[in-house]
Amino acid sequence: MILWFRTDLRTHDNPALHYFLTHPNSETPRKAFFFVSEKQWLEHDWSNIKVDFIKRHANALVSELAELNIDLELVAVPDFSAQVSFLKDYCDTNNIQEVVANSELEFNEQQRDSNCIAQGIPLTLFEADVIIPKGKVLNQSGTMFKVFTPFKKAWLKYVLAYGFDYLGKTNTTPTSTININDIHQIENSNISSAWPLSKEYESTALNSFFSNKISDYADDRDIPSVKGTSGISPYLAAGVISPRFILFSLLNRFPDLLLATDSKEFSWLNEIIWREFYRHLMFHQQRLCKHQCFNKKYQSLSWSNNKSYFKAWCEGKTGYPLVDAAMIQLNETGWMHNRLRMVVASFLTKHLLIDWRLGEKYFMQHLIDGDLASNNGGWQWAASTGCDAQPYFRVFNPIRQSERFDPDGSFIRKYLPELESIPVKYIHFPHQYIENQQLALYWPPIVEHKTARLQALAFYKR
């Protein structure tokens, strides 16, 4: 038996690892693999910072598994096809009777696993990326929900009725026969070093959030200048923290949380359920992996896709300070505040009439927490092409969003220092002030909000 790690580089609540450790295995040390597939990651638009984050966790896991007498080998192969070929050769050469792994949601990954089985690789799969197994939360017609709120109610009902599987931390500690000096690791750039490894994050930042910030989350989550969010998304996207561990930890602290849906603490759990919703949705609608509109009537929209507008959006030079500061935050840090993701996505699709798929791709290429299901769901929500999308006639006003969520301009000034001296009265749209002062501090707006809104309404109505 061998163990195949994928988007699940953790020993905590890992079903495949649990099975591997609790079933007879004659190998000493026991063997595991993780494939470093740079070409495949590039084809899937994984950002450099996410790749570095995963490599750091892979290196850490090698040492952690050595203590469990598991030899984790990090194998560099270009793509999924090469992964299958490597495993086929290894299984045939070593008479391997079972390959154990956790399943992955996305279409190409599903095709790879089907190819493994077709090649005769004895693959045993488990599910490790959601709290409730995909396919279990269905409407009365036995199909997947198309709107979030009914899904959430059914999701909560299921958890209350059946609970959820949580395997806890791995506590098997056999004497290792692996020489720590022989452990091979892979090079990484440390560009993700601002984000600690999952073990440190769990014991410090996450614990502090649960103790000190979660009760204020409902009030602070939309304010980008306040560090009011948990920062857990990169860990869930990389699979280095289990979503079931998150719910287990929450219920330990707030035992009645599943019933207290109007509590401030529940507002954070609500975001975890959104993640579940998008993953369940993609499980049922695999065409979403191919970047198709969920709402098929929008599939043939004739987006303008103005290249100069798209370039200005990418570089944070639209002339709307909140949009520009958000894009600079993304480009400089590999992360963007969730409220701002909605604002910039709405601006790209509704103000500039640029295909949401271009924005989705750009996000994946830059975010440390790039996750196909959540990213796709968020972009289609903003573009009004998706499941549970905002109505097409709702167009975020970037100036009003700025006034509401960055009222004193703190976030704007952090990422646009050229506006440091602009009075609060003008910080959200400083062009009139700049013209009056005859200062060339800031580029002019590339579109006018009212005009762009009317154009968007006409575009979608057609």
b/e string for 71-96 if b means 16 or more Cβ within 10 A? bbebbebbbbebbbeebeebbeeeeb
DSSP β-ladder status, 70-76 and 30-36: parallel
Residue 7 DSSP symbol: S
Residue 380 CA to residue 386 CA, distance in Å, equals 4
Stated as kind and residue range, the H or E segment containing 89 is: helix 80-94
Q: Considering the candidates 25, 271, 295, 397, report the single residue annotated as catalytic.
A: 271
Residue 26 CA to residue 211 CA, distance in Å, equals 44
Q: Considering the candidates 268, 274, 313, 381, report the single residue annotated as catalytic.
A: 274
Complete DSSP assignment for 169-230: -----PPP-S-GGG--------TTTTS--HHHHIIIIIHHIIIIIGGGHHHHTT-TTS--S-
- What are the angstrom distances between the C-alpha of 361 and each of 36, 45, 284, 387, 457? 22, 7, 22, 19, 25
The phi-psi region of residue 135 (left if phi > 0; otherwise alpha if psi is between -120 and 50; otherwise beta) is left
| Residue 338 bears catalytic tag | yes
| Residue 46 bears catalytic tag | no
Q: Considering the candidates 48, 64, 295, 303, report the single residue annotated as catalytic.
A: 303
| Residue 41 bears catalytic tag | no
Q: Considering the candidates 46, 313, 356, 381, report the single residue annotated as catalytic.
A: 356
Q: Considering the candidates 46, 268, 379, 381, report the single residue annotated as catalytic.
A: 379
Cα of first residue to Cα of last residue in the chain, in angstroms, is 58
Longest dimension (CA), the chain: 80
Q: Bridge-partner residues for 30, per DSSP?
A: 70
| Residue 155 bears catalytic tag | no
**Which among 265, 267, 277, 274 is positioned nearest to 222, based on CA atoms?**
267
Q: How many CB atoms lie within 10 A of CB 427?
A: 23
- What are the angstrom distances between the C-alpha of 432 and each of 28, 316, 401, 425, 426? 73, 20, 19, 11, 8
> How far is Cα of residue 257 from the mean position of the Cα atoms in its chain?
24
Q: Considering the candidates 338, 397, 403, 443, report the single residue annotated as catalytic.
A: 338
Sign of the Cα torsion 42, 47, 51, 52 reads: positive
Backbone dihedral angles phi then psi of residue 152, each to the nearest 5 degrees: -60, -45
| Residue 14 bears catalytic tag | no
Complete DSSP assignment for 367-386: -TT--HHHHHHHHHHHHT-S
| Residue 109 bears catalytic tag | no
Active site residues: 271, 274, 303, 338, 356, 379
